[in-house]
A and B are shown apart, each in its own frame.
Chain A
Amino acid sequence: MAKGTVVINQDRCKGCGLCPTVCPQNVIFMADDVLNAKGYHPATLVDLDEQCTGCAICAVICPDVCITVYRETPAKKHAPVLA
């Protein structure tokens, strides 16, 4: 399975908690011990076993466009993944 990772911009995150509910690999959590500048608990990637596949489902549901997704072998190079 393709390996990937996500970078979450925690300054933008409003802590709505939608991305952990859709993550198929359950590697995104809300950081209950962290507060960002706006006072929200931001989402965070905890992927010690490298289970993230870079499927970008979290980026599709994120209302605040905080998530950048990387994948080792994208299905189509430069093709928009959400199309």
Chain B
Amino acid sequence: MLATLNAPISENSLQVVYEYPESLSPVVTHYCPGCTHGIAHRLLAEALDELGLREKTILVAPVGCSVFAYQYFETDGCEAAHGRAPAMATGLKRVQPDKIVVTYQGDGDLVSIGAAEILHAAARGENITTIFVNNAIYGMTGGQMAPTTLPGQKTTSSPFGRNTTMTGSPIRMSELLANLDGPAYIVRRSLHDVKNIRKAKKAIITALKVQMAGLGFSMVELLSSCPTNWGIQPEKALEWIEDNMVPYFPLGDYKVRDEVNGL
């Protein structure tokens, strides 16, 4: 498959300006067409490539759509129980402090069942990096309401739209964790257009640098789409992020310690 990617081009003057990242396995992912998990995977792989971290990274995969994430990266990886990726990452990092430990979690995993684990890992200031993919729905299990589902949003378990009097309001996790003293770097980015994807990549690189410098917990929240379970086309799903999710989950830097700016 990679042979096809790197097929020689007849004109010698052409140079490669973009090719498949080394840290990404040459397999086809199981994600639905247009799912931004693929973009998030690619950004993380490119960040690992640019910082030269591939050989010393341990990726902790979650439960959710990204449950097979350890197969998609050419790094070491392990699978955590649902929501427990930060707990497993804590152990890995404490035993092997020279490794780069990254957890990749969705919103059902991180905000719902794993809320306690991420809160306490952040409060302890564990020196790990979390990539938090927020698509406002449970993807793998068939589109049920998640803690991040927007008010009025239709899901299979809220067919008339999320009723906030009965189910409460969506949790803004970045703001919540930014109140703690432990985290060094907490930002929210979006994957809905090229400009924001580039910003997201810069944030992931900074988050990894925070871990390399040993400054403490770092997390990048990525607003993501789920065209299948939202029931809309991939292109419209990206517009839906911009129109509906970004107003509720404002993009920005929620916690950036002074030391981080010097990195």
Q: Using CB atoms and an 8 Å cutoff, list the residues of chain A in contact with chain B.
A: 4-5, 7, 9, 11-12, 14-18, 21-22, 38, 40, 54, 56-57, 59-65, 67-72, 74, 77, 80-83
Q: Would A5 and B18 be within 8 Å (CB), given that A68-B5, A80-B46, A82-B46 are in contact?
A: no
Contact B17 A54 (CB under 8 A): yes
Residue of A with least CB distance to B2:
A9
A-B CB contacts (within 8 Å), total count: 107
Select B24's contact among A65, A67, A82, A83, beta carbons within 8 Å. A65
Chain A binding surface SS class = loop
Contact B17 A71 (CB under 8 A): yes
Interface residue count on the B side (C-beta < 8 Å): 43
Contact B9 A69 (CB under 8 A): no
8 A-B pairs with the lowest CB-CB distances in the bound complex, closest first = A63-B38, A16-B34, A14-B33, A69-B18, A16-B33, A70-B14, A16-B234, A56-B18
Can you list 19 A-B contacts with CB-CB less than 8 angstroms, sorted by A residue number? Answer: A5-B9, A16-B33, A17-B33, A17-B34, A17-B235, A18-B238, A22-B193, A38-B28, A54-B17, A56-B18, A60-B194, A63-B36, A63-B38, A64-B28, A65-B20, A70-B15, A70-B16, A74-B15, A83-B50
B176-224, CB < 8 A from A = 193-194, 197-198, 201-202
Contact A68 B16 (CB under 8 A): yes
Chain A residues within 8 Å of B197, by CB: 60-61
CA distance in complex: A1, B1 (Å): 32
CA distance in complex: A60, B20 (Å): 11
Chain A residues within 8 Å of B1, by CB: 9, 11-12
Q: Would A71 and B31 be within 8 Å (CB), given that A7-B7, A61-B39, A65-B21 are in contact?
A: no
Contact B34 A63 (CB under 8 A): yes
A6 CB to nearest B CB, Å: 9
Q: Using CB atoms and an 8 Å cutoff, list the residues of chain B in contact with chain A.
A: 1, 4-7, 9, 11, 13-21, 24, 28-29, 31-39, 42, 46, 49-50, 193-194, 197-198, 201-202, 227, 233-235, 238
CA distance in complex: A62, B20 (Å): 11
Chain B residues within 8 Å of A77, by CB: 15
Chain A residues within 8 Å of B14, by CB: 4-5, 70-72
CA distance in complex: A68, B4 (Å): 10
Select A70's contact among B9, B24, B32, B34, beta carbons within 8 Å. B9
Select A63's contact among B9, B15, B19, B39, beta carbons within 8 Å. B39
Contact B7 A12 (CB under 8 A): no
CA distance in complex: A16, B256 (Å): 36
Residue of B with least CB distance to A7:
B7
Q: Would A69 and B39 be within 8 Å (CB), given that A7-B5, A60-B198 are in contact?
A: no
Contact A12 B28 (CB under 8 A): yes
CA distance in complex: A81, B16 (Å): 10
Contact A57 B194 (CB under 8 A): yes
Residue of B with least CB distance to A13:
B33
CA distance in complex: A15, B234 (Å): 10
Chain A residues within 8 Å of B18, by CB: 56, 59, 67-69, 81-82
